[in-house]
């Protein structure tokens, strides 16, 4: 999925270029264009007049500023609007270029930009067809990364996937790749690492704190207690002389 997103960067530049001269009203509100700067007196061909005592100061004309969303004042829409789907596509590609995302996350981002739902659905359908939006690949990537970085078990991983908007069927397929043997080995590594920082504490205290850590990471209670009791029993400080 990452390779596909990298390939999309070129498409992103083209999409952004196609929208730089215009934008539908909902995009103009979310992405206001640059404001013009006031011309200097020399450029205007007028001297910089200093006010004299008792005389009114000569005011320079204010720089023209566009009103976002107003087709009469916004230079991006003055010459007509580009296709709304092109604008939505550029937003999606920008999001994917920053980080992998689920379809629901992308749809929520478009909704935040006031993109009509029917436009968002058409754009996301096409991106799904070409593989740029792929919840199965996203779910697998999320499971692997959260296991490696945080040591999460299946129950906690399921919560993460649900939070990201991955549907239950897709989430189950990704979680099925996690074997019981791998989950136990991961729990053992977490306990061994934590136990090294708890030297000198009573075995009961160590057990309680280790159980709380594994529970927060989604490990079932029966597996947690098996791993913890074995690790505490084998700790050098608890070995009988």
Q: Are residues 81 and 171 in the same domain?
A: no
For residue 56, is it within any domain? no
Residue 26 contacts residue 114 (beta carbons within 8 Å): yes
Q: Are residues 22 and 107 in the same domain?
A: yes
Mean pLDDT of the region 85-108: 94
CA distances 16 to 28, 82, 84, 92, 211, Å, are 13, 11, 13, 11, 51
Average pLDDT across the chain, whole number: 78
For residues 198 and 152, membership in a common domain is answered with: no
Q: Is the pLDDT of residue 119 over 90?
A: yes
CA-based angle 21:82:126, to the nearest 5? 125
Q: Give a yes or no: residue 202 inside a domain.
A: yes
Whether residue 84 lies inside any domain: the answer is: yes
113 and 187 share one domain: no
Cα–Cα distances (Å) from 19 to 13, 93, 116, in that order, read 10, 13, 17
> How close are the terminal C-alpha atoms of the chain, in Å?
56
Average the pLDDT over 38-44 and give the result: 43
Write down the pLDDT at residue 60: 44
pLDDT recorded at residue 174 = 96
- Predicted confidence band at 240 (pLDDT cuts at 50, 70, 90)? low
CB 54 within 8 A of CB 61: no
Q: Which residue has the tokens 């061994």?
A: 192
- Residue 6: band (very low, low, confident or very high) from pLDDT cuts 50, 70, 90: low
Q: Region 103-126: what's the mean pLDDT?
A: 95
- Return the pLDDT at 91: 93
Question: Taking 60 as the threshold, does the pLDDT of residue 37 lie above it?
Answer: no
- Domain residues for the domain of 78 are 2-32+66-129
Predicted pLDDT of residue 238: 74
Residues 24 and 104 in one domain: yes
Say if residue 217 is in the same domain as residue 233.
Answer: yes
* Same-domain pairing of 106 and 215: no
What's residue 236's pLDDT? 81
| Structural domain includes residue 114 | yes
Residue 192 has pLDDT above 50, yes or no: yes
CA dist., res. 148 & res. 22, Å (int) = 44
50 domain residue, yes or no? no
Same domain for 120 and 19, yes or no, is yes
Confidence grade of residue 187 (pLDDT, cut at 50, 70, 90): very high
- Total tally of structural domains belonging to the chain: 3
Is pLDDT at 65 greater than 50 in this prediction?
no
**Higher per-residue confidence, 22 vs 203:** 203
């Amino acid at each position: 999925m990452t390779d596909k997103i990298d390939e999309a960067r070129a498409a992103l530049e083209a999409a952004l270029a196609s929208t730089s001269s215009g934008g539908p009203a909902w995009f103009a509100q979310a992405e206001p264009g640059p404001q013009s700067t006031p011309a200097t007196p020399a450029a205007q061909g007028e001297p910089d007049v200093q006010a004299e005592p008792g005389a009114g100061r000569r005011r320079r004309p204010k720089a023209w500023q566009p009103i976002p969303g107003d087709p009469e004042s916004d230079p991006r829409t003055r010459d007509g609007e580009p296709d709304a789907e092109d604008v939505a596509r550029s937003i999606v590609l920008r999001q994917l270029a920053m980080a992998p995302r689920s379809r629901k996350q992308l749809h929520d981002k478009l909704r935040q930009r006031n993109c009509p739902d029917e436009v968002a659905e058409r754009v996301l359908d096409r991106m799904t067809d070409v593989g740029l939006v792929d919840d199965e690949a996203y779910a697998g990537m999320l499971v692997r990364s959260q296991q490696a970085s945080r040591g999460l078990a299946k129950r906690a991983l399921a919560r993460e996937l649900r939070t990201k908007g991955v549907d239950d069927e897709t989430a189950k397929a990704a979680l099925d790749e996690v074997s019981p043997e791998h989950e136990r080995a991961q729990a053992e590594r977490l306990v061994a690492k934590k136990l090294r920082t708890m030297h000198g504490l009573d075995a009961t205290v160590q057990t309680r704190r280790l159980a709380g850590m594994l529970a927060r990471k989604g490990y079932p209670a029966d597996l947690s207690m098996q791993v913890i009791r074995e690790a505490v029993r084998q700790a050098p400080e608890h070995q009988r002389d």
